[in-house]
Structure 1
Amino acid sequence: EGMALPRRIFPPEKICMDWQQRQRPGAGLFNLGNTCYINVILQCLTYTAPLANYLLSHKHSQSCQQQGFCMMCTMEAHVGKVLCSSASAVLPGAVLRDLKFIGEEFEYGRQENAYEFLRCTLSAMHRACLSGHHEQETTIVHRIFRGFMKSRVTCLRCQGVVDSYKAFLDVSLDIRAASSLITVLEDCVTPKQLDQKDCFRCSKCKKKAAASKKVTVHHAPRVLMLCLERADQRTGTKISKFVEYPEYLDLRPYMSDT
């Protein structure tokens, strides 16, 4: 509905959501000073079953044409190292070595934002998968993590609506005023009135009018990444509050009706 479908690089039917090999808990990761933001993201991606299945198959490295740094090859080697090691912990050496290739803003030994590292890592993996293809084509990264948000703006004068859609790989959540994930998600999908200065020109009544905006998940990804904003954007301090979340999350209350 209202969205152009990209061409395919990785067929969705080849994605297996369950572990294809029985896996025991793999090795932990050594923290070399301020590298915990790297470790937490690497561990999350390592234990994302459909991604790990693909990386453990070595399908990417067998056909990789990248010259020099390749994030998919790096992740393939890392996941294999972690899940197949008998050690209690290993060093994510290749990732640390190529940190500048993952994101120019990252500097070894300095405290960084885990969320930004996640976004840069996924972007680098996506670029590696493209390998000369058009950017709109779909990779294994997008097949697993990409969803679509629907934004509906309703004119408060004539009730006319305007829908727009935006792709996402993760959802960043403001937790400052909430103590549970459910509360945050409920607030996200609650219609909010736009400020008068942001009022839009309604295409139905042809006038500028006050409006409300509601954002919902229109198409859920196979793996939904919800990122809690732990860094206060105003003060730069860490938000250390406990946020409750359920073991199983029903997305239906936060989905679009159509």
Structure 2
Amino acid sequence: MALQMAWQQTHQQRRKAPLGLRNLGNTCYLNSVLQCLCYTPPLGQFCLSSQHSSRCKNWAVGGEKECPFCILERQITRCLSAEGSLEAPSKIYKCLTLFAESFRGGRQEDAHEFLRYVIDACHNTCLKLLSKSAAGKENASPGASGAKYGTVMREIFRGALLSQVKCLSCKGESNKTDEMMDISLDLFQSFSLNDALQPLLPA
């Protein structure tokens, strides 16, 4: 999956500052997450090219309800293409439970929790689409539909933490790699990302 890691020059010239999002009633958490997602270059570029919706056509969810990724794609496209300075994320707000079943409109919620719900909902939708697509191919290889990391959300947001133990006597090494989708960082007295990451790095 080829992702564009930087904005195209045409987009950089079009908008100098991020688009503001209207507060629809305790939606600060939702707005902050949407702005972060909108201005994540590979995701923004992916949505602007309509790569998901052009293949989905509500196929991934069997036509029973709307597709979370299609909704997010439309929202990001509007935010990145709008000529004004303010946008209301009404559609995502109305479909809040499609992303996070326990969330309700008008309530204050946690931004980090909502971000994980959005990523997971879009990732799962992509997996369903891959499964449907593979099932429609006569020569689909076993397991092709369940490619664990074969979705745009995992390609962008997944990371790996490598833990290494090295024997000082024999110089042997034992390595363990754990998948992660986020890192908890202590921001107190951290003046840069590198400062916040230092506790995770060996001395």
Count matched residues: 178
In the alignment, the residues of structure 2 paired with residue 112 and residue 144 of structure 1 have an alpha-carbon distance, to the nearest angstrom, of 24
> What secondary structure is seen at the aligned counterpart in 2 of 1:144?
helix
- Equivalent residue for 1:204? none
- Equivalent residue for 1:186? 198
> What secondary structure is seen at the aligned counterpart in 1 of 2:4?
coil
User: Do the aligned partners of 1:27 and 1:86 also contact (CA within 8 Å) in 2?
Assistant: no
Amino acid at match of 1:120: Y
Amino acid at match of 1:185: L
Amino acid at match of 1:136: K
Please state if 1:43 is matched with 2:53: no
In the alignment, the residues of structure 2 paired with residue 179 and residue 56 of structure 1 have an alpha-carbon distance, to the nearest angstrom, of 34
* CA pair 150-83 structure 1, distance change in 2 beyond 3 A: same
Name the stretch that deviates more: 51-60 or 26-35. Answer: 26-35
In the alignment, the residues of structure 2 paired with residue 190 and residue 82 of structure 1 have an alpha-carbon distance, to the nearest angstrom, of 41
> What secondary structure is seen at the aligned counterpart in 2 of 1:54?
helix
User: Do the aligned partners of 1:99 and 1:108 also contact (CA within 8 Å) in 2?
Assistant: yes
Offset of residue 182 of structure 1: 3.3
Amino acid at match of 1:42: L
Please state if 1:58 is matched with 2:58: no
* Identity among equivalent pairs (%): 38
The alignment's TM-score, normalised by the length of structure 1, stands at 0.62
In the alignment, the residues of structure 1 paired with residue 94 and residue 158 of structure 2 have an alpha-carbon distance, to the nearest angstrom, of 28
| 1:89 counterpart (86, 91, 94) | 86
Regions of 4+ moved over 4 Å: 153-161
Q: What are the within-5 Å matches in structure 2 for residues 165-180 of structure 1?
A: 165-176=177-188, 178-180=189-191
In the alignment, the residues of structure 2 paired with residue 153 and residue 73 of structure 1 have an alpha-carbon distance, to the nearest angstrom, of 44
In the alignment, the residues of structure 1 paired with residue 112 and residue 148 of structure 2 have an alpha-carbon distance, to the nearest angstrom, of 24
In the alignment, the residues of structure 2 paired with residue 150 and residue 33 of structure 1 have an alpha-carbon distance, to the nearest angstrom, of 42
- Equivalent residue for 1:73? 70
Offset of residue 137 of structure 1: 4.2
Q: Rg larger in 1 or in 2?
A: 1
Offset of residue 16 of structure 1: 1.3
Name the stretch that deviates more: 88-97 or 133-142. Answer: 133-142
Amino acid at match of 1:16: Q
User: Do the aligned partners of 1:60 and 1:73 also contact (CA within 8 Å) in 2?
Assistant: yes
* CA pair 144-137 structure 1, distance change in 2 beyond 3 A: closer
Q: What are the within-5 Å matches in structure 2 for residues 1-258 of structure 1?
A: 11=1, 14-20=2-8, 21-22=10-11, 23-24=14-15, 25=17, 27-64=19-56, 65-66=59-60, 67=63, 68-130=65-127, 131=129, 132=131, 133-134=145-146, 136-153=148-165, 161-176=173-188, 178-180=189-191, 181-190=193-202
Offset of residue 157 of structure 1: 10
Amino acid at match of 2:105: Y
1:85-119 CA-to-partner distances (Å, cap 9, x unmatched) read 22321110111111112112322211111111111
Bigger proportion of residues as helix: 2
User: Do the aligned partners of 1:26 and 1:84 also contact (CA within 8 Å) in 2?
Assistant: no
Bigger proportion of residues as strand: 1
